[in-house]
Structure formats: C-alpha cells, structure tokens
Amino acid sequence: MSIIFSENDKTFTLHTNDTTYQMKVDKFGFLLHLYYGRKTKGCMDYLLTYADRGFSGNPYEAGKDRTYSMDVLPQELPCQGMGDYRNTAVVIKNADGSYDSSFRYKGHNILNGKYSIKGLPAVYASEDEAQTLEIYLEDPVTKVQITLLYGVLPELNIITRSAVIKNAGTGKIYLEKAQAACLDFVSGQYDVISFYGRHTMERNVQRTPVMHGTQSIVSRRGTSSHQYNPMIILAGKETTEDAGNCYALSFVYSGSFKGEVEKDQFNQTRVLLGLSDDLFSYPLEVGDVFYVPEVVMTYTNTGLAKLSQNLHTCFRTHLCRGKYKESVRPVLLNSWEASYFDFTGKSIYQLAKQAADLGIDMLVMDDGWFGKRNDDYSGLGDWYVNEEKLGETLGSLIKKINSLGVKFGIWFEPEGINEDSDLYRAHPDWALSVPGRDPVRARYQLVMDFSRKEVVDYLFDKMCKVLDQGNIEYVKWDMNRSLSDCYSCATKDQGRVQYDYVLGLYDFLERLIKKYPDILFEGCSGGGGRFDAGMLYYTPQIWCSDNSDAMDRLFIQYGTSFGYPMSSVAAHVSAVPNHQTGRITPFNTRGIVAMSGSFGYELDPDKLSEEEKIKIQDQIKSYKKYAILVQKGLYYRLSDPFKDEISAWEFIAADASEVLVSAVMLEVHGNMPINYVRLKGLIPDTMYCEKTSGRIYASDALMETGIPLPAKMGEYHAYQMYFTIERN
C-alpha cells in the first residue's frame, strides 16, 4: 500500500519505492505538510515547532496560545485569510466580496489507480500501478469545498497533485488564484533551477540560490512559452548530476502558469506551481466545479540525472499516448526550410522522390498549402486546400507520394488567423480582440477564440475535411504567437478566457487523436514555445525549436532534457549556412545532434552534393539502429555545454547492455587540452566493447577517467561511440 492514513496521528503517508511524502491534519483541522524526501517511516510531526512569533498572527481557536501561527507552519494549502503572509496556493473572492478562506479537513478517501481530471491532461496508470488520495477540505463559512488529489506511482517515484474546487455555497464566487502544488520545507538551503529562453533559443538553464523574497517563473502569454518553462527544480547546494537531493515539479498544462519559490523570515522554503493569477478571475456559480491542472513531482537523493530519468520515464510511459508512444517514429523530410512558402505540388512531389531515394520515411508539407497563403500576411484560417498552387487535389498528391513508398504528413495552425482570410471576413468576432481597440498583431496574425465551443467545432470540422482527403499519417500542430487581447464576446467574465482557451485546445486535440488514432501528432509553437507536459498527453513529440543550428541545438536539447524525454524532442538536420545563425557545421555533427531525438531532415536534398546524399543514407541507417535505445534508454548528460568545451550525452539500455555516447566539440583552440568523456550507469567490474574500433574497455575505467576525444583540426567535430557489454 503506497498511501497510509494513521488514525492515531492523523497523518497521511505517501510512499513510492524511494521517497516518502507526509502530511497531518492538526488539532484545528488544518492540513499541515510534514515531509517530502528520501524514503522513511514513522510520524514526523516532531518537525513542527511552535514559538511566539510576534507579528505572525494566530488563528482565533488558538485562544491565548501565541505560538501557533499559519505564518510559520508548513502547509498543504496556504490560503488568503489564514494569517499566512507567504505566497498562497488559493485565493477566492467570496460572494460577499471578501477574499478570506480557511480550509479545514472534512474527510478523505484512498482509491486504487490514478485519478484523471475532466477535460485536462494527466498522468495515467492502471489500478495496480498507482493509488489516489482524495482529501476533502471545506471553508466553514462560505462552504466552498476543495478536494486535494494526490496520485502516487511507487515504481516511478512520482507523486502528482491536483485540486477540484466546488462552489457549494450560496452565491457566485471568483477563483483568483489556483496553484496545483505546494511544497514547504522547514529546513535546508536550496538552489532553484529554472529554464528561460526566447524564440529560437529555448530552455537555457539557470541555477540560482533561493533567496529571501520570491523568485517567480511566469508565463502570462496564454501558452507555456519560449520564455519560461513550467518546470522547477529545487536542488541542494551541493547537488550535481550524480549526487545530492533534488525535487522536480512539472506542470501538466500548456497555458499561462506561475511558479513561486520563496524563502521566508525563518529561512523556510515554499515552492508553488500552478495557474498564473494574471488575467485570471474564474467565476463559479453555485454548484460549479473548477479543475486545477496537475503538477508532477519527483524526488531523488542521487542527483539530477536520476531526477530527469524519473520524469522521462513517467512522461514517456504514463503521459504520452497512442500508437507512437512506444514505436519508432518515422524519419521525416519537412518542406519548411527546404522551400518555405515557395512550393507547388510538383516540387513537393520532387522532395518526396528525393526522400524515397535517400531512405526517408515521410514527407511533411509544411505551411503554405491552404487558402491564399504564400507568405505569412494572409490565409491563416482558410483550411481548404489551395489546389491551384498544388496543381492537383491533395488526395492525388498523397497517392503519388505514397506510391513512392513515402508516407505523407501535413502542417496546421488551427489557433491562428490572418485578418486577410475568408474566415476572418465572415467571423471577425471569432478572433480574440477587445471591442473598440486595435488588437495586438504578432507574425501579422490574431488568435482564434478557442474558449468558444462553436469556434472549436467549426475548425475541427474543417480540419477533418482536409484529413479525410487522403492517407495522412502525420500532423504538425503549430501555434505561432502568444495570446493577447484576451477578450471573448461569448462571456462577461473575461478572467476565465485564458483557462477556457486551453480547455478548448485540449478538447480539440482529444477529439482529433480519438478520431485519427493512427496519425502521429507533433506539437509546435514557433518551435518550442509550448514544450510542456500538457502537450505531451496529445502529441508524443514536439518540434523543440525553430533553431535547427546543431550548435545551438546542443544547448536547447540539453536544457530540454532536464524535464522531457528525448523521444519527445523533434530534431532535424538542416542545410548550411544555417538559416537561423548562418553557422556552418559538419554534416556528421548535424546528424549526431538530430538523431538524439525524433529524427528528420529540413532541407532540399536537390541542393546537396552526392557525397552528402550518401551521408544521409548512412545517418538514417545509424538512426534506425539506435532508435529504440534513443527512445527508451536512460539518458545521461555527460557534460554541461554552458561550462565545458564539449557537449556530451549518453543513452543506455535499462539493463546497461548497450550504450550510445555522443560528443561534440564546442570550442577549438590552439594546442588544446584533451577532453575526456566519462560514461555513466555502466555495470561495474564488466568489460564493454566499442563496436566501431572493436576495442574492449573496463567499465570502471570508462566511468572513472573516460575516453579521450581526438584533438582534430576544425570546428564542431562530433563523435559517436556505441558500446555493448562483453558477456564473458
């Protein structure tokens, strides 16, 4: 049993294989947090300490006892109005206009299996893989009810948390803030690791000490964003890849979010993660229910590599769904960097022929095949095939491509709309915009009001009509701007629009994957602007960045690897000079970097030399050989590209029988010191054979000193080494 309630101490203890989480209902009915960390046993309420803290308030029931203060005690659900002046998890504007709540324990239930959340993505598990704890809380005055949901997946060392908020009172209320998870640490000095970025340079890694005050990580863009990722790692000061304690919190949601890390007056640390409270004021009529998206949490005392592996396994096996969850993804050739908007049916067919010759599995026709769409100023919204541009029907083009033995995929951006489109002319109010104001344009487009069901229904229908025209086996779902003008003419309560927009998006995606279970869906938002656990529930892979430069990708993929499995990272080989940076990198290096994710090409093979074409065929052979290892193996970061001269990483089979090590020289200098790549996770006291050289190495030496990288002339060389265990 992974969830235990002790009647005696009124404690709830959640056990995974290696971790324990504990909380307690105290004498006033508050739900206090006691512990989250390495596996332990017994009641830990001795961690709660009491002292007269002067200006920190005391609940009324405490009477003359000034030592009891919610301003100091660790909690599961800190709310406005309880005398806790730290950051809150929930704020409700009550029917009488007051903002105070005081949630108290009413009961609980322990169930087998993992809860799901209506309309929202969530980790799933079978009855015997997980347990759920529901804790019922109620405000005694307003009668608002909150059910805290905890999912425990022992084998994966994962604990999830979500909440359901019900207005069981007598008047309309507004939810002003809803954080999904709250972790209070009564002691310890921590660093916070977060992931910031920009378009074409996502998920840079930042590690800073937790300081007095609040460090917040926020997206108010309506998408999870290029700028901040909805994931927080809290790590001990000394924690490295290989050792030390660390916690990860990852929000399973694709809209605006807020993470808060606060060190309080007594050096205690509070971490919150959930919905952004900017532009959020969600109305709940009497009887209405609100679902807070979930946060996935994991802990380890063995360093950041294991922390990431816990998330990778959970997301890959218990969040991603569908046919492609476990199977090797097709190698694809995408038309975007090959020809941008400038293509015809003939040139697309020509690309597909090249794909067939080179052994590429699929041709993807990117942006530009619909409406009047020859640049990004018009056409978005008109989801009918531009047969004039293609010179034929979509169906016949697909048939021709399929007859080459090549699969066909296509690009959509259902959330975007150009003012210069038939759809906008017919339904200007279907785009988010504030009446009487000029809307903010981005990439010269507006955003469809996905909070409205009729808009989602219309677009779903149009998209299906295209998908039904032929054998389409892949869809890239793109979204190329942040939300603004968050006003929907369908509601008076504009504080609900951003959240309802995301529900509309999820509803659309859910309907699509149900209707087309054989299509591989890839997420995208100007590259990696919506790379989050929420999207992975619908799309098992996401275009990681619009930056296809192999060198920049090393940094982007490194940052992404902290929270997301490499099987979800779509990565392509593109032409040089690179279109985003102008950099020239060796073909081999581009291949090695891209084949560390879901592999493909983004170039016009007609423009390549014969020698390069042969390299493509070799790369595809290598990728197919390593694909299962890359998709399902454990991932180790072997260097920190932000600090080291090399970028190196490893995939190792779960039984450590085979290992793929990749390394790229980031810098070249005269008379350079040698860089050694130290392997990880091998079976000690065993021999491994590096297959290209045939050389045998002792595992302990590989892990202790490593392998020297050749000091070759020229920039950005990459090396791939494939080891298998020697059985005797």
Neighbour count for residue 134 (Cβ, 10 Å): 15
What single-letter DSSP state applies at residue 268? -
Least distance (Å) between residue 578 CB and ligand GLA: 14
Candidates 100-108, 242-250, 524-532, 581-589; binding stretch for ligand GLA (CB under 6 A): 524-532
Q: Which of 524, 566, 630, 663 binds ligand GLA (CB under 6 A)?
A: 524
Query: Has 612 been annotated as catalytic?
Result: yes
Residue with tokens 């070799």: 618
Give the nearest distance from C-beta 5 to ligand GLA in angstroms.
48
Say which of 612, 640, 645, 715 is annotated catalytic. 612
DSSP state string for 44-73? -GGG------TTS---GGGTT-TT--TTTS
Residues touching ligand GLA, count (CB under 6 A): 11
Q: How far is the CB of 524 from ligand GLA (least distance, A)?
A: 5
Closest distance of CB 543 from ligand GLA, Å: 5
Region binding ligand GLA by CB under 6 A among candidate stretches 63-71, 519-527, 531-539, 604-612: 519-527
Contact pattern for ligand GLA over residues 469 through 488, marking x by CB under 6 A = ---------x-x--------
Strand pairing of 598-602 and 332-334? Answer: parallel
Closest residue by beta carbon to ligand GLA: 367
Q: H helices then E strands: how many in the chain?
A: 13, 37
* Nearer of residues 261 and 463 to ligand GLA, judged by Cβ: 463
**Residue from 303, 409, 527, 605 that binds ligand GLA (CB under 6 A)?**
527
Choice between 298 and 541, CB closer to ligand GLA? 541
Nearest Cα to Cα of residue 624 among 606, 647, 600 = 600
Q: Which of 262, 361, 367, 420 binds ligand GLA (CB under 6 A)?
A: 367
**Nearest residue (CB) to ligand GLA, 200 versus 310:** 200
Query: DSSP class of residue 683?
Result: P
CB of 522 to ligand GLA, least distance (A): 10
CB of 569 to ligand GLA, least distance (A): 14
> DSSP character for 566?
G
Q: Which is nearer to ligand GLA, 259 or 527 (CB)?
A: 527
Q: How far apart are CA 329 and CA 631, in angstroms?
A: 9
Whether 723 and 658 have beta carbons less than 8 Å apart is answered as yes
Distance, CA of 543 to CA of 178 (rounded, Å):
29
Instruction: Report yes or no: 4 and 12 within 8 Å, Cβ to Cβ.
Output: yes
Q: Applying CB under 6 A, does 605 fall inside the site for ligand GLA?
A: no
Please count the other Cβ atoms lying within 10 Å of the Cβ belonging to residue 660. Answer: 22
3-state DSSP assignment of residue 313: helix
Site track for ligand GLA across 529-548, x = CB under 6 A: --------------x--x--
Q: Which of 623, 528, 609 is nearest to 576 (CA)?
A: 609
Q: Residue 673: helix, strand or coil by DSSP? A: coil
Query: Which residue, among 469, 526, 476, has the nearest Cα to 365 in the 3D structure?
Result: 476
Preceding amide of 605 cis, omega within 30: no
The residue among 366 and 658 lying less far from ligand GLA, judged by its C-beta, is: 366
Binding piece for ligand GLA, criterion CB under 6 A, among 317-325, 520-528, 611-619, 626-634: 520-528
Rounded-to-integer distance, Cα 257 and Cα 295, Å: 11
Q: Name the one range near ligand GLA by CB under 6 A: 5-13, 312-320, 523-531, 570-578.
A: 523-531
What's the CA gap between 47 and 38, in Å, rounded?
Answer: 15
Q: Closer to ligand GLA at the Cβ: 180 or 570? A: 570
The C-alpha atoms of residue 371 and residue 59 are separated, in whole angstroms, by: 63
Is residue 526 within the footprint of ligand GLA (CB under 6 A)?
yes
**Binding span for ligand GLA by CB under 6 A among 48-56, 295-303, 521-529, 632-640:** 521-529
**What token pair was written down for 496?**
């609900």
Residue 725 CB, nearest approach to ligand GLA (Å): 40
Query: Least distance to ligand GLA from the beta carbon of 412, Å?
Result: 10
Q: How far is the CB of 368 from ligand GLA (least distance, A)?
A: 8
Q: Which H, E and C letters describe 18-30, residue by residue?
A: CEEEEEEECCCCC
Nearer to ligand GLA, 124 or 543 (CB): 543
Token duo for residue 193: 């690791």
Residues 545-564 that bind ligand GLA (CB under 6 A): 546
b/e map 6-29, b = 16+ CB within 10 Å = eeebbbbbbbbebbbbbbbbbeeb
Site string for ligand GLA, 291-330 (x = CB under 6 A): ----------------------------------------
445/662 with CB nearer ligand GLA: 445
Reference 678, options 719, 650, 654, 707; nearest CA is 707
Check binding of 500 to ligand GLA (CB under 6 A).
no
The pair of three-digit structure tokens given for residue 659, joined into one six-digit string? 């290992």
Out of 280, 336, 555, 623, the only residue in the binding site for ligand GLA (CB under 6 A) is 336
Identify the burial level of 61 via C-beta atoms within 10 angstroms of its C-beta, where 0-12 means exposed, 13-18 middle and 19 or more buried: exposed
In whole angstroms, give the CA distance from residue 403 to residue 399. 6
Please state the closest distance from residue 479 (CB atom) to ligand GLA, in A: 9
Which residues make Cβ contacts (< 8 Å) with residue 116, sequence separation at least 6?
122, 124
Q: Based on CB atoms, which residue is closest to ligand GLA, 185 or 336?
A: 336
Q: Which residue has the tokens 């209902």?
A: 25
Residue with smaller CB distance to ligand GLA, 524 or 629: 524
- Please, where are the H alpha helices in 562-667? 587-594, 610-632
* Token representation of residue 647: 């970028």
For residue 388, give both structure tokens: 């004039």
Cα–Cα distance for residue pair 304/300, rounded to 1 Å: 8
Name the residue nearer to ligand GLA (CB basis): 525 or 561. Answer: 525
- The active-site residue, picked from 419, 532, 552, 602, is 532
Site for ligand GLA in 371-430 (CB under 6 A): 411
How many Å apart are CA 259 and CA 224, to the nearest integer? 12
Tell the smallest beta-carbon distance from residue 227 to ligand GLA (Å): 16
Return d(Cα 723, Cα 448) in angstroms, integer. Answer: 50
Name the residue nearer to ligand GLA (CB basis): 20 or 545: 545
* Interface pick for ligand GLA out of 366, 382, 420, 650 (rule CB under 6 A): 366
Pick the closer one to ligand GLA by CB: 542 or 663: 542
To the nearest whole angstrom, how small is the minimum distance from the Cβ of residue 252 to ligand GLA? 22
- Answer left, alpha or beta for residue 506, where phi above 0 means left and psi between -120 and 50 means alpha: alpha
CA–CA distance, 681 with 635 (Å, rounded to integer): 10
Least separation in angstroms between residue 366's CB and ligand GLA is 5
Catalytic residue ranges: 532, 612
Interface residue list for ligand GLA (CB under 6 A): 336, 366-367, 411, 478, 480, 524, 526-527, 543, 546
